[in-house]
Structure 1
Amino acid sequence: MRFLRLSFAVCATALAVAGCPKPSAPTDDAGVTAAGESETAAADAGPGPASFTLQYALPDAGLEVIPVVGEEEGRPLIDSTSTLELRSTLVLRNYRIRLFDEAERAMASDDSAEESPNGLLYRISLPTPLKTGHKYTLVIDAQTGTSMTDSQGREVPDMRIPFQVSGEKEKPPPPAKKKQRRR
């Protein structure tokens, strides 16, 4: 019996001493690296995050750049076109690129993507030119899951690139009148 009480006392003492570790105090040099180390780490990380350029094709003038701005900054005006090109400085993984009209409907298009060491070239060819006076938004987001990544493995945030086609807004054609049959 005495042996049982002694071993219980030893176990209780051991648990009291080793139970929960004391919180460690932060050290003064935590997270601090020498200047040479941080420069080397930055050089090893490779190029910066992916950046995008959106262009549109004009029949006679070649390609014109659409400024990449947020929706809160307004919509840049472009000429009517049926070809858009999106370029990124890095190749993207798990991405989806869609063009929406002002009613937030995806537009039908024939798309092609080319990957190279210089990045991604994504061409959108529309069956008909964009309508004058109408607003459009190019959306770049993740195909599956919650995020897309670049070729360096870094997450790339979703983007919305708004723009508007210059000119007077085209009115939709009036609905066709139905002929009534008389009996």
Structure 2
Amino acid sequence: MRRFLRPGLVALCASFVLVGCPDKQPAGQADSGVAEAPQDVPPAAPPPASFTVRYQLTDAGTDLIPLTAEERPTIEPTSSLELHSSIGLRNYRIRLFDEAERAMISDDSAEETPEAVIYRIALPNPLKSGHKYTLVVDPQTGTSFTDTLGREVQELRLEFQVAGEKEKDKPAPAPKNEKKKRR
């Protein structure tokens, strides 16, 4: 009986060894005795902040047309601009300048979330035909502004021109002809 027990015991031990050794297992069988740790894959960081500017046609309702940062795009006269960021921003300001680098008077509003900023500029009068304007996103205070992840964001300067013949400003009043009276 001892004779039969030894070969059976050896076969039983060999089967335990084979099951416990992954390199000795037949192909296609998983090792059920060892749990694999899940791979920790860090989430991909979102890309840097990018901006889209849209404007509303004054006579076409609420249709907004995107502007790209190509070299000085031409737009139709409008009194409504929107700037969309691809991520939330901190310590920023947005201004619209005329071609004399004067800030335009406007009624602005902002919707801010960690995921984005939507900044609306409502002008009291449409932009003048033929004139050039610059939309600037820069720091409110200090020398830089950041996104909600703390990364510095480059200043944006989008120059554009309004289509049409250049409107002239109101002519200056003619100088009064003052004659000196002699007494």
The TM-score with structure 1 as length reference comes to: 0.70
Aligned residue in 2 for 1:112: 109
Counting only pairs closer than 5 Å after superposition, residues 51-130 of structure 1 correspond to structure 2 as 51-59=50-58, 60=60, 62-69=63-70, 74-130=71-127
Aligned residue in 2 for 1:137: 134
The correspondence for 1:164, drawn from 152, 157, 161, is: 161
Q: Aligned residues, how many? A: 140
In the alignment, is the contact (CA less than 8 A) between 2:114 and 2:148 conserved in 1? no
Superposed structure 1 runs of 4+ greater than 6 Å apart: none
What is the one-letter code of the residue matched to 1:58? Answer: L
What is the one-letter code of the residue matched to 2:128? Answer: K
Q: Which runs of 5+ in 1 are unaligned?
A: 1-35
What is the one-letter code of the residue matched to 1:68? Answer: A
Q: How big is the alpha-carbon RMSD for the aligned residues of Structure 1 and Structure 2?
A: 1.9
In the alignment, is the contact (CA less than 8 A) between 2:89 and 2:114 conserved in 1? no
Q: Which runs of 5+ in 2 are unaligned?
A: 1-38
Query: 3-state DSSP class of the match of 1:138?
Result: strand
The TM-score with structure 2 as length reference comes to: 0.70
* Distance across 2 between alignment mates of 1:181 and 1:158: 52
1:118 CA drift (Å): 3.8
Percent of aligned pairs sharing the same letter: 58
* Distance across 2 between alignment mates of 1:117 and 1:150: 9
* Distance across 2 between alignment mates of 1:83 and 1:118: 23
What is the one-letter code of the residue matched to 2:151? Answer: R
What is the one-letter code of the residue matched to 1:107? Answer: M
Larger helix percent: 1
1:176 CA drift (Å): 1.7
* Distance across 1 between alignment mates of 2:133 and 2:166: 13
1:107-155 deviation line (CA, Å, top 9, x unaligned)? 1111100013541100001111100000001011111111101011111
* Distance across 1 between alignment mates of 2:177 and 2:165: 35
* Distance across 2 between alignment mates of 1:99 and 1:163: 11
Largest Rg, 1 or 2: 2
